[in-house]
């Protein structure tokens, strides 16, 4: 699709375990104009994760080379690993008129606010901090050490929710997805 106006830049952030992946998967199923920005990371793949689909998995050396080349719109360290959003793909997708969704941590979202003030920034919040622990335990993807580290980070992340344009509580998946879709549609109407 071609369009005179570039697509929206949509940031979905929130603490680890809040359900960003599941919400984004549903958004992409329901809205054909949305595209997903695949980030780079130095974290090791979890079982079932595919290189180029979930992330571009790279070494620290490769990531640092990309930083020097100015390849990232933003990047951040999260629990000792680097994560970053590549600019080139993002610009191409938006120039084609598609809206692009970024799944990033709150530090990255803060950088995007400064570098791309027109971005639509949505914070996904858990119904409670206990629920966050429960969801991450269910995922079984992290060691006990990583779990504990992520819960400490989550407390700081929650404090930044008021910096976002919208806060959506992920209490019920379909309800939360509909709320995010309504926010995106309203932003599109303002944008065109």
Residues lying near ligand 5GP in the complex (CB under 6 A) are found at: 16, 20, 39, 43, 74, 76, 78, 83-85, 103-105, 107-108
Cα separation, 64 vs 85, in Å, equals: 13
> Using CB atoms, what's the residue nearest to ligand 5GP?
108
Retrieve residue 76's tokens: 């951040």
**C-beta of 3 vs 141, nearer to ligand 5GP:** 141
Closer by beta carbon to ligand 5GP, 85 or else 170: 85
Q: Closer to ligand 5GP at the Cβ: 8 or 90?
A: 90
**Sign of the C-alpha dihedral, residues 149, 153, 158, 161?**
negative
Q: Which residue has the tokens 């620290």?
A: 60
Give dist(CA 14, CA 115) in Å, integer: 19
State the nearest-atom distance from the C-beta of 96 to ligand 5GP, in Å. Answer: 21
Q: What is the largest CA-CA distance in the chain?
A: 49
Question: C-alpha distances in angstroms, 67 versus 87, 111, 118, 120?
Answer: 11, 14, 23, 24
Question: How many CA within 13 A on the CB side of residue 107?
Answer: 13
Say how far apart CA 32 and CA 148 lie, in whole Å: 37
Question: Which is closer to ligand 5GP, CB of 76 or CB of 119?
Answer: 76
Nearer CB in complex with ligand 5GP: 39/170 = 39
Work out how close the CB of 128 gets to ligand 5GP at its nearest, in angstroms, rounded to a whole number.
18
Nearer to ligand 5GP, 74 or 99 (CB): 74
Q: Whole-number minimum distance, CB 177 to ligand 5GP, in Å? A: 17
Name the nearest CA neighbour of 86 among 71, 96, 101, 99: 71
Q: CB of residue 153 vs ligand 5GP: minimum separation in angstroms?
A: 8
Shortest separation between residue 91's beta carbon and ligand 5GP, angstroms: 15
Work out how close the CB of 79 gets to ligand 5GP at its nearest, in angstroms, rounded to a whole number.
7
């Amino acid at each position: 699709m071609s369009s005179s106006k570039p697509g929206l830049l949509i940031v979905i952030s929130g603490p680890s375990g809040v359900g960003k992946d599941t919400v984004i998967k549903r958004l992409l199923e329901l809205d054909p104009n949305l595209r997903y920005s695949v980030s780079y990371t130095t974290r090791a793949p979890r079982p079932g994760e595919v290189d180029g689909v979930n992330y571009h998995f790279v070494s620290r050396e490769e990531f640092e080379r990309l930083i020097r080349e100015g390849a990232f719109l933003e990047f951040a360290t999260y629990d000792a690993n680097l994560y970053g959003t590549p600019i080139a793909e993002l610009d191409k997708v938006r120039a084609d008129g598609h809206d692009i969704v970024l799944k990033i941590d709150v530090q990255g979202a803060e950088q995007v606010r400064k570098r791309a003030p027109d971005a639509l920034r949505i914070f996904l919040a858990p119904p409670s901090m206990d629920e966050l622990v429960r969801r991450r335990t269910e995922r079984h993807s992290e060691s006990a050490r990583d779990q504990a580290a992520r819960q400490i980070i989550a407390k700081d992340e929650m404090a930044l929710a008021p910096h976002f344009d919208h806060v959506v509580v992920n209490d019920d998946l379909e309800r939360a997805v509909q709320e995010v879709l309504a926010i995106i549609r309203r932003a599109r109407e303002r944008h065109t």
